[in-house]
Structure 1
Amino acid sequence: MTTSTTAKSPTATPLLDLQALVVSVIRRRRLWCTAALLGLVAGAALAVLLPPPPSAVTKVLVAHKEDQPNDTGTLIRTDVALLGTTRIAGRALQALGSPEEPEDFMQQYWGTGLTNNLLQIDVTGDSDADAVARAKALADAFVTDHVRRMREAAEAEAEALLDQRDRMRKELAQVNETIGDRPTGSDPKASASTESLFARRAELNSRIADFDQRAAEARTGTPRLVSGTQIVDGPRAVRHSLPKTAVTNAGIGLVLGLALGLALAVVGTVVADRPVLRRQIAGHLGASVLAELRRRPAPWHRRRTRAARERLTTTLLRAVRGPAEPVSLLELGAARSAAAIAVDLAAALADQGEVALVDALPDRRLVDGKRTSGDLTVVSAEDAGSLPQPTRRIAVGSLAPGTAWTDLEHLGQHTVLVVRAGHASAAWLHTVARHLADRDVRVIGVVLIDPDPRDRTDGTLWDGPHTALRGPDGRPAPQDRTGAPRTRSARQNGTRQPSTTAAGAPDSDQEAR
Structure 2
Amino acid sequence: MTTDSTAQTSAAAPLIDLQPLVVAVRRRRRLWATMALLGLLIGAAMTVLMPPPPTAVTKVLVTHQEDQPNDPGTLIRTDVALLGTTRIAEEALRALKSPDRPEDFIGQYHGAGLTNNLMQITVTGDSDAQAVARAKALADAFVADHVKRMRDTANAEAQALLDQRDRMRTELAQVNKSIGSRTPGSDPKASANIETLFARRAELTARITDFDERAAEARTGTPKLIAGTQIVDAPRVVRHSVSKSALTSAVIGLVLGLVLGLVVASVGAVVADRPVLRRDIAAHLGASVISELPASSRLGRLWQRRRTRAARERLTTTLARTVRGSSEPLSLLELGCARSTGAIALALAEALAADGPVAIVDGLPGLPLADSAGPGGPTVVSGERARGGSPEERRFGVGSVAPGATWIDLPHLGARTVLVVRAGHGSAAWLHTVARQLAELGVPVIGVVLIDPDPRDRTDGTLWDGPPTAPRGHNGQARQNEGAASHPVQAVGEGRRRTERLPRWAARVPDSDQEAR
TM-score by length of 1: 0.88
Give the Cα separation in 2 of the matches to 1:35 and 1:415. Answer: 40
Q: Please give the alpha-carbon distance, in whole angstroms, between the structure 2 residues aligned to 1:431 and 1:469.
A: 24
- Distance in 1, Cα, partners of 2:474 & 2:494: 21
Task: Give yes or no for contact 2:361–2:383 (8 Å, CA) kept in 1.
Answer: yes
Could you tell me which amino acid in structure 2 is paired with residue 439 of structure 1? L
Distance in 2 separating the partners of 1:126 and 1:17: 57
Other-structure match for 2:222: 222
Deviations 1:14-52 (A, max 9, x none): 675301101100100010011001100000000011000
1:409 aligns with 2:407: no
Within the candidate set 361, 364, 382, 2:364 is matched to: 361
Once the two structures are superposed, the pairs formed by residues 251-266 of structure 1 within 5 Å of their partners are 251-266=251-266
Contact 1:465 1:491 in 2 (8 A): yes
TM-superposed CA distance for 1:318, in Å, is 3.0
Matching residue of 1:22: 22
* Aligned partner of residue 100 in structure 2, secondary structure: coil
Change (3 A) 1:31 1:288: same
Contact 1:290/1:445 (8 A) holds in 2: yes
Task: Look up the match of 2:231.
Answer: 231
Which residue does 1:129 correspond to in 2? 129
Matched residues in 2 for 1:489 and 1:14: separation? 32
Q: How does 1:20-419 map to 2 (within 5 A)?
A: 20-297=20-297, 298-300=300-302, 301-367=304-370, 373-419=375-421
Partner amino acid, structure 1, of 2:490: Q
Alignment partner, residue 500 of structure 2: none
1:6 Cα deviation after fit: 12
Quote how far apart the aligned CAs of 1:382 are.
2.4
> The residue matched to 2:424 in structure 1 has which SS?
coil
Gapped runs of 5+ residues in structure 1?
479-484, 498-513
- Cα deviation, 1:104-159, whole Å, max 9, x if unaligned, reads 22221111112221111111111111110110011011101100110011011101
Amino acid at match of 1:384: A
Q: Secondary structure at the match of 1:184?
A: coil
Q: CA deviation at 1:230?
A: 0.6
Equivalent of 2:490 in 472, 489, 492: 492
Give the residue type in structure 2 aligned to 1:450. D
Distance change (3 Å), C-alpha of 1:15 and 1:321: farther
Write the deviation string for residues 176-215 of structure 1: whole angstroms up to 9, x where unpaired: 1111211111211112211211221121112111111110
How far is the alpha carbon of 1:8 from its aligned partner? 5.4
Equivalents in 2 of 1:371, 1:126: separation in Å? 71
1:446 and 2:448 aligned:
yes
Render the CA deviation track for 1:88-118: whole Å, top value 9, x for unaligned.
1121112122222222222211111122211
How far residue 221 of structure 1 moved from its aligned partner, in angstroms, is 0.8
- 8 Å contact 2:386–2:412 — kept in the other structure? no
Secondary structure, in 3 states, of the residue corresponding to 2:370? coil
Q: Distance in 2 between matches of 1:233 and 1:310?
A: 79
Q: Alpha-carbon deviations, 1:429-473, whole Å to 9, x = none?
A: 010001111111111101100011111111111344659548999
Matches of 1:474 and 1:366, distance apart in 2: 37
Pick closer, same or farther for the CA change 1:326–1:120 going to 2, 3 Å: same
Deviation at 1:474, TM superposition (A): 9.2
Letter in 1 for 2:33: C
Residue identity in the other structure for 1:494: V
Partner amino acid, structure 1, of 2:390: P
CA deviation map 1:254-291 (0-9, x unaligned): 00011100000000000000000110111111111111
In 2, Cα distance between equivalents of 1:449 and 1:221:
86
Structure 2: distance between partners of 1:204 and 1:469:
117
Of all paired residues, the percent bearing the same amino acid is: 69
Q: Secondary structure at the match of 2:332?
A: strand
Partners of 1:328 and 1:411 within 8 A in 2: yes
- The AA in structure 2 aligned to 1:30 is R
Matched with 2:508 is none
Contact 1:110 1:122 in 2 (8 A): yes
Shifted more, 68-77 versus 87-96: the winner is 68-77
Q: 1:496 to 1:236 in 2, by over 3 A?
A: closer
1:461–1:467 contact (8 Å) kept in structure 2: no
Distance 1:489 1:401, change over 3 A: closer
Aligned to 2:504: none
Gaps of 5+ in 2: 1-6, 496-517
1:430 aligned residue: 432
Post-superposition shift, 1:350?
2.0
Residue matched to 2:510: none
